[in-house]
Structure 1
């Protein structure tokens, strides 16, 4: 009887793993930005996922189309599993978002380009920054802080 229960459990686990890996990571970036590629490499490496890159001159349209509040804008925008990831959000926070799926959250943002954030590494220099979760209604909260 234990064998019969074990096989369905393995199938369920495999289905869950495949579903989690099936998320598409699509990053939009300006052709003149170098840090965007470094950040995409960070996400690829840390989350072990493929990242599709779309180069566009019209990042304003991308951000507006996906509802990124203007004061949270950064240099690149990623869409993953229906969420918007704006700027240099650490890969671990993307995984946390996909796992927790907080109610009403549209996406995460790291406004600007803080030194020391993924893709913006400059030796030992680091600026403190926050990962902001934002909702469609305009409300937001601090999802994570880095010092």
Structure 2
């Protein structure tokens, strides 16, 4: 009997420690059209990778994109704000995590212009386009953050 109580106590301690090590989600806000299916798939990709995004549905995202310093040449179908940075389009969650960890000076966000096939949320059959993730600053200057040569 004493052994089973000891075992039960040990399980409680182990359970408490394992829950304490759970990582809190990275929180942010995603702006998107209420009608876009690929945006919903990208949000699912983000949630599967440790993000928790509040959703804001807008018919016209242009004013939001302009306010956040996005140039038309790298616009896409949705825009997220996470930890004060802007993330435009179908960016892989791993790239956003790397950006947030490094917090590069002068850069205010990342963008994947358009909607390249094979990027998160744009998976379709075996179609995969090569694409670049761009880092951008408040003046619209960009640098290649990463290349995805599917």
Q: Distance in 1 between matches of 2:24 and 2:65?
A: 25
Residue 69 of structure 2 is aligned to residue 27 of structure 1: no
Conserved 8 A contact 2:76-2:114: yes
Match of 1:37 among 20, 37, 40: 40
SS at match of 1:132: strand
Conserved 8 A contact 2:76-2:115: yes
Aligned length: 130
Residue 68 of structure 2 is aligned to residue 66 of structure 1: yes
Q: Distance in 1 between matches of 2:51 and 2:139?
A: 30
Equivalent residue number for residue 85 of structure 2: 83
RMSD over aligned CA atoms reads 1.8
The verdict on how the C-alpha distance between 1:129 and 1:35 changes in structure 2, with shifts beyond 3 A counting, is: same
Unaligned runs of 5+ in 2: 1-19
Shift of 1:66: 0.6
Equivalent residue number for residue 6 of structure 2: none
1:66-91 alpha-carbon deviations (Å, 9 max, x no partner): 11111100000000001000000000
SS at match of 1:107: strand
Q: Which has the larger radius of gyration?
A: 2
Unaligned runs of 5+ in 1: 1-13
1:7-58 alpha-carbon deviations (Å, 9 max, x no partner): xxxxxxx9xx99x947531100011211000000001101x12111110112
Q: Distance in 1 between matches of 2:114 and 2:107?
A: 20
Q: Distance in 2 between matches of 1:21 and 1:82?
A: 18
Q: Distance in 1 between matches of 2:107 and 2:118?
A: 26
Shift of 1:137: 2.1
